[in-house]
Structure 1
Amino acid sequence: MHTQPEITPANWGMVGTLGLVWGATFLFIELALTGITPFWLAAGRIGFACLLTCAVWQVRGGRVFLTDQTAWGALMLSGLFNSAIPFMLLSWGQQTVTSGFAGVSMASVALIVLVLAHLFVPGERITLRRMIGLMIGFVGVTILLGGQVFASSGDPMEPFGRMACVGAAACYASSSVLVRNLPPIDPFGLAALTLVFGSALVLPTAFVAEGPPPLPAPDILFLIAILGLIPTAGANLLRILVIRSAGPVFLSLVNYQVPMWSVILGIVILNEPFKPVLLLAMSLILCGMFVSQWGALMRLFGRGVTPSS
């Protein structure tokens, strides 16, 4: 049984870092896709991250479960749902849907997690405050992404692409709940094995779907290495640490930050036009985050005692 999750300043810092890192990931993916196919990009970043994380894990002793050894099935599922399946679903789905719909699909992770955590994670109950806060954040993301959220791409396969994007969101939500419910486990072992199971699925799938692996140009290989090192290997470990300490509902706040950071970085780095509606959207997203976590914030800053969610 899990007690009510504890939310610390470090948890807030990790969630903020994840939002920025995953928001920047879209820029690197867009650049990398100019020189490699979608499934092999997913396979490359997961495979590189897997090798790196496994090496660190082995240096630290290669431990897995600290007590209960019966949760291998849940661990395997969490690995498949954590990266391989959603990476492939998104890569395939984004060929036929607008980027706005894909962004809103990822924001819906927070709402899916809220329901799953209520059903399967002790201490993570749906409350009116949490629901209102997450809905405010979702509205903020919808405003941020604008009319393209509801626009059609015109592709006859678009309904299936939308199903793939929503399926990816459901995978991320399910993985968070599975990870939270695992028995005591070494975080480096958990991070490594989720990538091992993900690689075991995505590598053969890429070969079947897109043929033998291509030999990208050096600059594309560099981008794949960056994607494997930072938003896959590093962020995967941070994600696990947040889930295990603060819970999946708190982690889901990242999904509202990602499109916000993506838009901000597009303005700063790619010189994309600034739209005043960004300020309204950001205000709603931040307001939603604070409302959903109001109790934790009050305990953290209002009383000066050790916080608990």
Structure 2
Amino acid sequence: MVGVLGFVWGSTFMVTELALEGMTPFWVAFIRLAFAALPMVVIWRLRGGRLALDPDNPPKLRAVALAGALSSAIPFLLLSWAQQFVTSGLAGTAMAAVTLIVLPLAHFLVPGERLTGRKALGVLVGFGGVLLLIGGDAFASTGAQLETWGRIACLGAAVCYAVNAITIRRLPPIDPMGLTAMMMLSAALIVLPVALIFEGVPPLPDARTLAALLTLGLVSTAAMNLLRVLVIRRAGPSFLTLVNYQVPLWSVVMGVVILREPVPPTLLSALVLILAGVALSQWQALRVLVLRRRRPGLGVTPTAQATARQIRLRDSD
């Protein structure tokens, strides 16, 4: 799941650029969320529409709405606006910085997610690989008047993603499909008035823009946010940070394979550093995943165990 997340989110910046050619940024954010929320809510309702897996410990609706704001509404607004003024390399580097924010937050806020010296070293090594991969172009100026604010917006989106990973992990046992549907719906309702106030009525998209928006909504947002919730609930927010190393890497690889761009001379060295950072920072989690194939249930958190029990009970009903 982490591999799929990294691959799809690595292509999202390119698809967003295509969408922005025919649609204003805030409407890109809303339409993307609307295309994601509609099928997710319908599927969730067809499956019974239950949100809490433990009736005695239901999630608070304001906590779910906060998760929607942090996971999608605020970051999508910030990134859609910022990509008018910053380079794609800077945006990719900002997403890699999520790792630097999540690990110290998880150390204090999530039981069992302690920041050890090895994890800290792994984060720095992996982030060094990202910087090497992107190169100096990540920080090259575009000459845009609002570029500084665009960079701040990218970092703000990274902070939202990091805090949201902690927020989702701290929720009580909850149906992943229901959580994803409610997050997308609440995010869309937050973004809609912002788009109307600042950009007015949206233009009619052409076929290419509509295809880009559908891809962003159904694949990059709906499907990937469901996977994201599953990863966080099963393996924790620190393990999800593996995705943020992959996003800029896949962006470069797809540029080489699909757009026939030249192979960056630092690609192999950056890949070695990124994989070394992953191995150092997530050694215990990777070891548990390997051993779990031989001993099912090993390393599963109490929250995940409770969720699994509730799912089995629901399915038996």
| TM-score (normalised: structure 1) | 0.91
Aligned counterpart, 1:60:
47
Is 2:52–2:59's contact at 8 Å kept on the other side of the alignment? no
Q: Note the residue ranges of structure 2 that are not aligned, 5 or more in a row.
A: 301-317
CA pair 45-296 structure 1, distance change in 2 beyond 3 A: same
Is 2:165–2:232's contact at 8 Å kept on the other side of the alignment? yes
Are residues 1:84 and 2:73 paired? Answer: yes
Give the Cα–Cα distance (whole angstroms) in 1 for the partners of residues 11 and 91 of structure 2.
15
Q: Deviations over 1:223-269 (max 9, x none)?
A: 21121111100001000000000001101110110110011001100
Are residues 1:243 and 2:232 paired? Answer: yes
Q: Deviations over 1:195-217 (max 9, x none)?
A: 01100111111111111021111
Aligned counterpart, 1:7:
none
Aligned counterpart, 1:308:
299
Q: Secondary structure of the residue that 2:135 maps to in structure 1?
A: helix
Aligned counterpart, 1:145:
134
Aligned counterpart, 1:159:
148
Is 1:299–1:305's contact at 8 Å kept on the other side of the alignment? no
Aligned counterpart, 1:202:
191
Please show how residues 112-123 of structure 1 align to structure 2 within 5 Å. Answer: 112-123=101-112
Give the Cα–Cα distance (whole angstroms) in 2 for the partners of residues 295 and 78 of structure 1.
28
Are residues 1:285 and 2:256 paired? Answer: no
Give the Cα–Cα distance (whole angstroms) in 2 for the partners of residues 34 and 150 of structure 1.
23
Aligned counterpart, 2:313:
none
Aligned counterpart, 1:27:
14
Find the partner of 2:178 among 175, 189, 201.
Answer: 189
Please show how residues 4-19 of structure 1 align to structure 2 within 5 Å. Answer: 14-19=1-6
Are residues 1:211 and 2:200 paired? Answer: yes
More deviation, 200-209/79-88: 200-209
1:294 partner letter: W
Find the partner of 2:222 among 230, 233, 237.
Answer: 233
1:305 partner letter: R
CA pair 243-65 structure 1, distance change in 2 beyond 3 A: same
Q: CA deviation at 1:219?
A: 2.6
Aligned counterpart, 1:40:
27
More deviation, 54-63/284-293: 284-293
Is 2:30–2:192's contact at 8 Å kept on the other side of the alignment? yes
More deviation, 56-65/150-159: 150-159
Q: CA deviation at 1:91?
A: 1.5
Q: Secondary structure of the residue that 1:200 maps to in structure 2?
A: helix
Q: CA deviation at 1:302?
A: 6.3
1:257 partner letter: Q
Is 1:133–1:287's contact at 8 Å kept on the other side of the alignment? yes
Aligned counterpart, 1:168:
157
Are residues 1:100 and 2:89 paired? Answer: yes
Is 1:18–1:238's contact at 8 Å kept on the other side of the alignment? yes
Aligned counterpart, 1:267:
256
Is 1:121–1:177's contact at 8 Å kept on the other side of the alignment? yes
Q: Secondary structure of the residue that 1:276 maps to in structure 2?
A: coil
Is 1:99–1:148's contact at 8 Å kept on the other side of the alignment? no
Q: CA deviation at 1:148?
A: 1.7
1:224 partner letter: L
Q: CA deviation at 1:111?
A: 1.0
Give the Cα–Cα distance (whole angstroms) in 1 for the partners of residues 58 and 286 of structure 2.
36
| TM-score (normalised: structure 2) | 0.89
1:44 partner letter: I
Q: CA RMSD in A?
A: 1.6
Is 1:109–1:172's contact at 8 Å kept on the other side of the alignment? yes
CA pair 267-127 structure 1, distance change in 2 beyond 3 A: same
Q: Note the residue ranges of structure 1 that are not aligned, 5 or more in a row.
A: 1-13
Give the Cα–Cα distance (whole angstroms) in 1 for the partners of residues 119 and 13 of structure 2.
28
Are residues 1:69 and 2:58 paired? Answer: yes
Is 1:78–1:174's contact at 8 Å kept on the other side of the alignment? no
CA pair 302-233 structure 1, distance change in 2 beyond 3 A: closer
Q: Secondary structure of the residue that 2:260 maps to in structure 1?
A: coil
Aligned counterpart, 1:9:
none
1:63 partner letter: R
Give the Cα–Cα distance (whole angstroms) in 1 for the partners of residues 214 and 286 of structure 2.
37
Q: CA deviation at 1:17?
A: 0.6
